[in-house]
Amino acid sequence: MESPLRIAIIGQSNFAAEVLELLLEKNYNIAGVFTIPNKGTREDILAATAKQHSIPVFKFASWRRKGEVLPEVLQQYKSVQANLNVLPYCSQFIPMEVIDAANLGSICYHPSILPRHRGASAISWTLIEGDEVAGFSIFWADYGLDTGPLLLQKQCIVEPTDTLDILYKRFLYPEGVKSMAQAVNMVAEGKAPKIPQAEVGASYDAAMFKEQNHYIDFKKTAEDIWNFVRGLDSVPGALAVVLHEDGSEEKIRFFGAHLYADGPVIGPKRLTLKGLKNPAYIHDRGLLLQGTDGKFVNIRRLKRGSKMINACDWFTKCQQSQISNFSKDELDKRDVLINIWHSILKCPIEAETDFFAAGAGSMDVVRLVEECKDALDMTLDSGQVFMAPVFEEFFCEIIRSLRQESSAVQGRIHYDGFVLQANKREISVPTQLFINGEFMDAEQRKTLDIINPSNEELLCKVACASRSDVDKAVQAAHQAFYGAWRQVSARQRGNLMLKLADLMEEYKEELATIESIDSGAVYTLALKTHIGMSIDAWRYFAGWCDKIQGNTIPVSPGRPNKVLTFTKKEPIGVVGLVTPWNYPLMMLSWKMAACIAAGNACLIKPAQTCPLTALKFAELTVKAGFPPGVINVVPGTGTEAGQAISDHELVRKLGFTGSTSIGKIVMRSCADSNLKKCSLELGGKSPLVIFADCDFEKAVKYGVCSVFFNKGENCIAAGRLFVEDRIYDEFVRRVLRDVRSMTIGDPLNRSTAHGPQNHRAHFEKLIEFCRRGIKEGAKLVYGGRPVPNTKGYFFQPTIFTDVEDHMFIAQEESFGPIMIISKFHGSDVESVMRRANRTEYGLASGVFTRDISKALMFADNIEAGTVFVNVYNKTDVAAPFGGFKQSGFGKDLGQEALNEYLKTKCVTIEY
C-alpha cells in the first residue's frame, strides 16, 4: 500500500542524494526536491539524482530577503503540496513559513548528540572539545537553532585516530542516511516521538567557517592542540602564522595531527610560529609543536596558500623556485589542462579554481590522472592532485614533472665525472657517490684510484665513502622506505624496474664498454653476459613484484570458535649490498633486482677496483624515475665502507658476495650489530667429473669453458677437474690445443677471448698460486706466468696435471685461469665422488657422462648448490643460485631469491 506521505526533500550533497534514493526504494512519494543553484554548469548531485527519477527540482539561491520569506519561493514550495519536509543536509536557512507549511512537520539531521553542540560546526566541536562520544540527532524543526524536539539519536565512540573526515565517513554519513529513512518510517507509521530537548548541557558553538576562529591557541596543552587540529582536519584546516627571519609573516594550515611519543628527534630544523613559546621542529616525520604541558603534537601535512605539502618537506618546498617562464609548448599544455578540468568540473577554469572546492570527488581524481596521462604522455598519480588541488599550482607541478622527465631523457643529470673515450664512443661516467637521488663528493673529498687493468694506467679517481657517507646513504634509504617508496604500489614498482631494464638495454653498449675498461672483461662477453644477464634479472624480478603473496593456513581452533590464520610477505627495510669485482654490474643486478622487487630500499658498495658501471647504473635509476633514496651507491674500501654497512643498526639485511674469509667477518658483524639477516655467496672449488663414456667433444669444449670463462674470475669456475684415466691423456692434449689457440689481448677487440685480470693484487696472487703448485710437485704443462712483453695484468691460461688431493692447489680456489686436472679410475665411481666432496666449499659442480644412472647418482651425492650435467656455466635468472658449506648460504636468482629480502608475518584471527 502506498504511503500517504508527500515528501519534500530540502538540502544538497551526496548525503541528501542517498537519502532520496533510499526513500524511493521504500516507495515513498517524493513530491519535490529543493536544492542550491548550479556552480557554473555543475549542478548539485541531489538535483541530478532527482532528475533521473523525474522528480520536480527547484533551485533557490536564497529563501528569504531581510528576514522575510520570498513570496515566489514560498509559492513554488507550496506547489508540490508536501505534508512532510525532510532536511537531510541543508546549508541554507529555511523560513518557518516553509517549515510549518507541511502539516506533518519538518525533520532535520544534525551531526551531534543534542542538546550539546548546537550550531553549524557541530562535528568540528565534538572533536575540538575532546568528546569521548559522537553521534547525530534527527529532530523536529522549530524557531530555535537546533532546539526542536528529538525524534531519534544514535552515537558512537570517538577513536583517537578520528578526524572530522573519518568520523563523518565511518559513522555520521552511513548511519545518518539509514536513520533518516528510519525516521520517515516512524512518521509514516505514526510512531515518531517528539522529545523536548533539555537546556542542561546545551552549547552554542562558534561557526568554524569564519577565519578568525581557525587560529590555534598555543597556550594550551598538547592534547587540546591536537583536538583542535583534527576538528578542522578536512576543511578548512587549523591556522597558524610562520614568522620568517626577514620579519615577514605567512599563514599556514595544519592537517594530520597526532600526539607524539616517538622519542627524541635527530637533527631537527626550527620553525618559529606566532604565539608558540618554543620553536616548532621540522623532522623527517612532520612538524612538532610543544604544548604548555611539555608534551608534543606532530603535524604530518601543511597547506601553504592553496598547496598541500608534507610537513617534513617544508624547507625543501620553500627553496623550490616558482615557474614563470613558460615556453609556447608549455602554454599549449595549459590549454589542454584547462579543457580537461572543464570537462570534469563543468565550470569555468581560472588560475585559482580549486578542484575539490568545485565539487570533485575521488572518481574525478582518477579521471583527471588518466586523462592527463593520455593527453600529455607523462607519469602522474593521484597524490599530485591532492597536493596541488588549485589549477595554477597543478599546472606548475605538471610542467615541473615534464621538465624533470625531459632532463632525465636527455641525460641532464648533474654530476662530476669524466668522459671515457673508447670503443669508438664518448661515454660520460659519474665518479661521485650516489645518495638520495643525487651525486655528491665523499667526506673530505676522499677518492680511490681506478686503474685500467689493460695498461696499468690511472683511469680516473672515484669518491671513496667514509662511515659518515655510508650513514647518509642508510638514512636516505630508511626515509625512502618509510616514505615515498611505500606509496609506490607493487605493480608500479614492477613498471619502474621494467623501465630501468629498457634503459639498460638502450645503454647496453656503453655499459659493456665501461665494464671492459674498468674490470678487464672481454667486450663480447660483457655485452652478452655481464650486461645481458643484468637486464634479464631486472625484467625477471619485475614480473614478481605483484605476485608476492602469503598463504592461508588451516589450524586447529579451540571449539566452538573458529580461527583464520594467514601469512603476509613483507619487505625487510633497508638492505645493504656488497658485491665483488668479477661481474660488477651482474652481481649488482642479481642482488638488487630481487631486493627492489620485494619492496626494500638499499645501498650498495661495489668493488673498490671497478665501481664505474654501478655509478653509471645509478644515473639510469634517476632516468627511470626511482624515488630518491631507494637506490644508493657508495664506492669505498671494504674495511671502512663495507664494515660500516655491516655495522649499521638501520640496515636490516646484508647481501654479500666475496671471499669466505671476509664472509666470516661480515657474518660476525651482522650478529654483533643488530642481528641483521645476511646471505653469503662465498668462495668455491667446484669439482667437474668427466667420465670416459661422455660426449668427448662436448666435454672438452665445456671443460675449457668451465675454467677459463671470464678469464677464470668466475665464482662457479671448475676449480678441479677429475678425468677418467682412459681419456685422461687425450683430454689434456685437446685442452692444450684449445688453450694455445686462445687470443689474449685488448678486451675491446672483438677477436679477443682472454682479457687482463682485474687488478694487481689478484694478478700477483695467481703468480704465487702457480709457484706453490710447482713446489708441491704438480706438473705445469702450460702457462703459469704473466704474458711476456705485455703491459697490463695479462696472465697466461694455465694447466696443471698430476694434481694430488693433498696439494694446496687441489684444495684452495685460485679465482683465475688455472686448470687443475686429476686422474681417477672408472671402476670406483663412489671414490671419485668422495674426492669431489673433500673440500670445504660447495658452490657448484659438474659431471659429463652418457650414463643417466651415474649422472643422477652424482647429483644425489655431491655437496653443492648447483649441479651441471653434460653442460657447465649454464645459469639463468629463473634458476636459484647459491652454495653449501663454506661457500655460504642463501640464494640469488629465481623465486627463492625473493625470500632473502622478505620477512613472513603470521596473522591469526579468532571469530
197 annotated binding-site participant:
no
Beta strands 249-260 and 296-304, pairing class: antiparallel
Annotated active-site residue 478? The verdict is no
Between CA 727 and CA 698 the distance in angstroms is: 13
93 annotated binding-site participant:
yes
Between CA 272 and CA 146 the distance in angstroms is: 41
155 annotated binding-site participant:
no
453 annotated binding-site participant:
no
Nearest Cα residue to 544 out of 875, 877, 876: 877
206 annotated binding-site participant:
no
Q: What is the 3-state secondary structure (H, E, C) of 673-713?
A: HHCCEEEEECCCCEEEEECCCCCHHHHHHHHHHHHHHHHHC
552 annotated binding-site participant:
no
272 annotated binding-site participant:
no
Nearest Cα residue to 298 out of 314, 279, 320, 280: 280
432 annotated binding-site participant:
no
282 annotated binding-site participant:
no
Q: Can you tell me which residue has the cell 608500479?
A: 492
Q: Which member of 715, 724, 759, 770 is catalytic? A: 715
526 annotated binding-site participant:
no
Q: Which member of 43, 110, 595, 770 is catalytic? A: 110
Q: Three-state DSSP class for 547?
A: helix
CB-neighbour burial class of residue 304 (10 A; exposed 0-12, middle 13-18, buried 19+): middle
Annotated active-site residue 806? The verdict is no
Residue 346 and residue 40 in contact, taking contact as beta carbons nearer than 8 Å: yes
Q: Three-state DSSP class for 907?
A: strand
Between CA 843 and CA 861 the distance in angstroms is: 14
219 annotated binding-site participant:
no
896 annotated binding-site participant:
no
640 annotated binding-site participant:
yes
858 annotated binding-site participant:
no
Residue 511 and residue 613 in contact, taking contact as beta carbons nearer than 8 Å: yes
DSSP secondary structure letter of residue 768: H
Q: Which member of 510, 619, 681, 900 is catalytic? A: 681
642 annotated binding-site participant:
yes
Q: Three-state DSSP class for 329?
A: helix
State how far the alpha carbon of 179 is from the alpha carbons of 11, 138, 154, 160, 409, in Å.
16, 8, 8, 25, 57
75 annotated binding-site participant:
no
Kindly tell me the sign of the dihedral angle through the C-alpha atoms of 542, 543, 547, 548.
Answer: negative
Residue 17 and residue 46 in contact, taking contact as beta carbons nearer than 8 Å: yes
Q: Left, alpha or beta for 237 (phi > 0: left; psi -120 to 50: alpha)?
A: left
Query: Which grid coordinates are listed for 350?
Result: 581560472
Kindly tell me the sign of the dihedral angle through the C-alpha atoms of 336, 341, 347, 352.
Answer: negative
Buried b (16+ CB within 10 A) or exposed e, 497-517: bbbbbebbeebbbbbbbbbbb
Assess whether the previous peptide bond of 687 is cis (omega < 30° from 0). Answer: no
Amino acid at 780: L
Task: Tell me what percent of the chain is helix, strand and coil, each rounded to the nearest 5.
Answer: 40, 25, 35
Query: Which grid coordinates are listed for 283?
Result: 623532522
767 annotated binding-site participant:
no
2 annotated binding-site participant:
no
815 annotated binding-site participant:
yes
How far separated are the first and last CA of the chain, in Å rounded? Answer: 42
81 annotated binding-site participant:
no
Residue numbers in the known binding site for (6R)-10-formyltetrahydrofolate are 92-94, 146
Residue numbers in the known binding site for NADP(+) are 605-608, 638-643, 658-659, 765, 813-815
Active site residues: 110, 681, 715
